[in-house]
Amino acid sequence: MVKHEGHGSGRHYSFSQPAPSHAPALVSVIGATVILYVAKDVLLPLAIAVLLTFALAPITSRLRKLGLPRTLAVIITVVLAFVVLVVFALIVAGQVAEVAQNVAAYQSNIIGKIRALQESGSDNGLVRRIMSVVENVGRELNNADEDGVGQEALVPTREPLLVEIFAPNRPIETLTSLISPLIGPIASLGLVVVVVIFMLLEREELRDRLIRLVGYGDLHRTTEALQEAGRRVGQYLLTQLLINCAYGIPLALALWVVGIPNAILWGMLAIVLRFVPYIGPALSTVLPLFLAFAVDPGWGLVLWVAGIFIVLELTSNNIIEPWLYGSRTGLSPLAIIVAAIFWGWLWGPVGLVLSTPLTVCLAVLGRYVPRFEFLEVLFGSEPVLDPKERLYQRFLAGDPDEATDQAEELLQEDYLEDYYRDVAIPALLLAEQDRRRGVLTNEQMLQVAETATTLVANLEEIADEEEQEEDEQPEEAEQDGVELPADQELPDGTGMTVFCAGGRGPLDDASAAMLGQVLRVQGAEVTLQKHSDMLKDRRNELVPSDVASIVICFLNESSARHARILLRRFKRTHPRTRVGFVIWRTETEGFATADIDADFTARDITTAVREALSDTPASVVLPQRKFRIRRPPVVRASES
């Protein structure tokens, strides 16, 4: 769209840039999802191999620093890693088989507890349904055993037929039937091992080829993306493994001490399941609790197991994780949940385990590739709006409560002066820009101003705390013999009265309220008025007689003429009072106040507070008013 600006022959043309379309990127994402789903048998082992390469690369680098050759370091790392995985899988499989054999023995305890609940008065449909399910499961298990024994007793003549299984032409078929289900997993495992070995051996070569393929035009950005992806994924996998081991090993020991069967299994499952975000820790808790419920006729073992999990969760969440996590994954909690659902649907249980590291790679892709920037926006943990934009959005929504929550979060590290200078005043400037562009209606402007004023009122408690801190700091510094830097401290306003008002609109009134609160923190007595009150008060009777300075706030930078009018008004009634104007700005360029011949002018809240509390005498004196002498009309001779 072309817009014509200006008048006359000299016209200026400005071209409005169309918003970038995300349709090609969205089509690419949909196509990639289809490919991932259709070719998961091939891509899933490759994805596992890539992530294992990220995790094992630091170990290989450490072995190489010890002096081992590259090939030997890679082989040692891969062999040790996969031996640990195979031993882990074999132990879990054996423990699971043992638990399956003992399930029928726990039936009587489960039925007894459910009947106790039913007899205690909680006679509802849920208990009855659970009771029926448990009895049916037990009946089926018993029937299966009885059927097997009965068939052997009723058909003893068929026993010799079993000899045919061991005939010379049968062992090959038997061996094939046993091995064929294992061919797929073994082949996938072998493929993963081979790919990991070659990736570790040719890691630098693969990196260079990837850079040449996708990022040769911007080596700096591509290198940063690869380094960040490798660092974040590798750090996540190793750190999560350490955290899970620090959780699973004590869990197995504690369950073994209290008498839970197969305690090793539950500790090992906790190590694996906690890789699945949010769902995994819950599953690792439910299974041992259910087993404690089934094993013990009473309730003491269930309470012991629940206490173990509570202690371990508190220790892991509050001590181990903050200590080991040097940096987070960079993903928002909602993104982690959505990613787990997506990758679980796409690749099943393995996708659940791989969901977080794979999503980390997508977030890094969105950070460094502009075409896929929406991935960083969707999955990243960094705020997508600046604090001033978030605050302005809350102003538009008329939500002072959330605006106050955001302010209190920032004020944990900053002072009110910093918050108003860097966040709140710039948010009001955004509102003023929208007002001047005509996109902010009068109703919205009043709502923004009212919400901003409510925010200032909500921060009054923090202002009182800062005022008390201002009173205590000089005494502590004097006792310690430390001299506070003069260029960083605002002047003390005790005993001074300052008049603050908005210049031309409700948004200016809100900015004046913010300035007035900072002045009160410095100990000054502040008289705050709205711009509408000044319009009604032509004689300036609202201004106290002992006022030390008068400060008028403007958000509109084109208010020089109106400021001069107000200057004359105040100087006629208060000639010895310092009168200054604050025309809020967020940048230094283009700020010109030469047309405003005031005692002081400021562009930010720090300068405004220093000038308002300054003991410099007033320097502006109004020129004497010129009086016109009326002359009698001249009578022409022709008229006489």
SS3 state of residue 506: helix
pLDDT of residue 591: 46
The least confident of 267-271, 303-307, 445-449, 617-621 is 617-621
Helix 263-273, helix 219-258: angle, nearest 10:
160
Helix 460-480, helix 442-458: angle, nearest 10:
40
The least confident of 268-272, 275-279, 492-496 is 275-279
pLDDT of residue 151: 47
Do the Cβ atoms of 482 and 430 come closer than 8 Å? Answer: no
What φ, ψ does residue 447 adopt, rounded to 5°? -65, -40
The least confident of 291-295, 458-462, 634-638 is 634-638
pLDDT of residue 456: 93
Residue labelled with tokens 């309730």? 299
pLDDT of residue 629: 53
Element (H, E) at 211: helix 203-214
pLDDT of residue 226: 74
| AA letter at 477 | A
pLDDT at 455 over 60: yes
Query: What's the pLDDT tens digit per position in 175-223?
Result: 566 566 666 677 777 788 888 888 888 877 777 777 776 655 666 677 7
325 — pLDDT class (breaks 50, 70, 90)? low
What's this model's pTM, rounded to 2 decimal places? 0.61
pLDDT at 13 over 80: no
Return the HEC string of 428-455.
HHHHHHHHHHCCCCHHHHHHHHHHHHHH
pLDDT at 440 over 80: yes
Query: What's the pLDDT tens digit per position in 520-552?
Result: 999 899 999 888 887 776 667 788 888 889 999
Q: Quick one: average pLDDT of 74-84?
A: 89
pLDDT of residue 286: 84
pLDDT at 444 over 70: yes
14 — pLDDT class (breaks 50, 70, 90)? very low
Helices (H), 531-594: 531-536, 560-573
The least confident of 104-118, 291-305, 360-374, 435-449 is 104-118
Do the Cβ atoms of 533 and 503 come closer than 8 Å? Answer: no
pLDDT of residue 316: 78
Do the Cβ atoms of 593 and 585 come closer than 8 Å? Answer: no
Report residue 113 as tokens: 């507890």
Distance of CA 389 to CAs 392, 396, 426, Å? 5, 10, 9
Do the Cβ atoms of 557 and 506 come closer than 8 Å? Answer: no
* 497 vs 298, higher pLDDT: 497
pLDDT of residue 428: 93
The least confident of 156-160, 379-383, 427-431, 446-450 is 156-160
* 561 vs 111, higher pLDDT: 561
Collect contacts of 39-43 with beta carbons under 8 A, ≥24 apart: 40/346, 40/347
pLDDT of residue 125: 54
* 57 vs 165, higher pLDDT: 57
Query: What's the pLDDT tens digit per position in 363-411?
Result: 887 777 777 777 777 887 777 778 899 999 999 999 999 999 999 988 9
- Supply the mean pLDDT for the chain: 76
Collect contacts of 300-308 with beta carbons under 8 A, ≥24 apart: 301/258, 301/259, 301/260, 304/258, 305/255, 305/258, 305/260, 308/251, 308/254, 308/255, 308/258
* 257 vs 135, higher pLDDT: 257
* 25 vs 167, higher pLDDT: 25
Share of the chain above pLDDT 90, in %: 13
Q: Quick one: average pLDDT of 335-345?
A: 85
Query: What's the pLDDT tens digit per position in 579-606?
Result: 999 999 876 444 455 556 788 889 899 9
**Maximum average pLDDT range among 5-14, 113-122, 207-216, 618-627:** 207-216
Query: What's the pLDDT tens digit per position in 413-439?
Result: 889 999 999 999 999 999 999 998 889
pLDDT at 477 over 60: no
Report residue 127 as tokens: 């208990």
Q: Quick one: average pLDDT of 223-233?
A: 76
Any residues with CB less than 8 A from the CB of 369 and at least 6 apart, and which? 225
Return the HEC string of 523-537.
CCEEEEECHHHHHHC
